[in-house]
Amino acid sequence: MGSQEGDKVKRLVVGSDHAGFKLKHDLVERLQKKGYDVLDVGSVDDGSVDYPDFAAKVARLVARGDFPLGVLVCGSGIGVAIAANKVAGIRAATANDVESARLSRAHNDANILALGARFVGPEDAGFIVDTWLETPFEGGRHQNRVDKITLIERDERR
């Protein structure tokens, strides 16, 4: 589950609820055209579903190491991030702009990006995802902070 320093991630798992379905679909197409191997765990259309179900699927696959990184989309990006962060080892960050996406990787080693389909369109979302995928974790002083997050997580799970 460590960072992807120096390696361009080419495998991703993605998921969304009904509000994020269209944006997720657009992102999957964009990523596949760029050569990414993308597993889409749903939803399969814009019919009403519960976002925690899809957040859990993506988070568990990332936490197990089946995929290095994941992308989740819901209406705001907030619900899926909250749900994903309940899975041990996940650092999901809601980033509806490029700079937040960059910082979530560089400083926090976020392993799941959460986007809000009601706040970003397909073009901006593409730039956000590209930035997030291309930004390495800086380590250094940030590693100590990420390690402290992991310690909090372990203490809370006892």
**Does 4 fall in a domain?**
no
d(CA 48, CA 65): 29
Give the pLDDT confidence score for residue 8 in this predicted structure: 57
**Does 6 fall in a domain?**
no
**Does 101 fall in a domain?**
yes
Count of domains forming the chain: 1
Active-site pick, 18, 25, 74, 142: 74
The CATH number covering residue 102 comes to: 3.40.1400.10
**Does 126 fall in a domain?**
yes
Whether residue 107 lies in the annotated active site: yes
Q: What is the pLDDT along the chain (158 residues), one digit of tens a residue?
A: 344 433 457 999 999 999 999 999 999 999 999 999 999 999 999 999 999 999 999 999 999 999 999 999 999 999 999 999 999 999 999 999 999 999 999 999 999 999 999 999 999 999 999 999 999 999 999 999 999 999 999 888 77
**Does 3 fall in a domain?**
no
Place of tokens 């290095």: 68
Whether residue 142 lies in the annotated active site: no
**Does 125 fall in a domain?**
yes
This prediction has a pTM of: 0.93
Alpha helices in 8-140 (DSSP H): 21-33, 51-63, 78-84, 98-106, 122-134
d(CA 77, CA 62): 18
Which range of residues forms the domain containing residue 142? 11-156
List Cβ neighbours of 136 (8 Å cut-off, separation of 6 or more): 3, 4, 5, 6, 105, 106
65 neighbors 109 (Cβ within 8 angstroms): no
Give the pLDDT confidence score for residue 132 in this predicted structure: 98
d(CA 53, CA 43): 9
**Does 2 fall in a domain?**
no
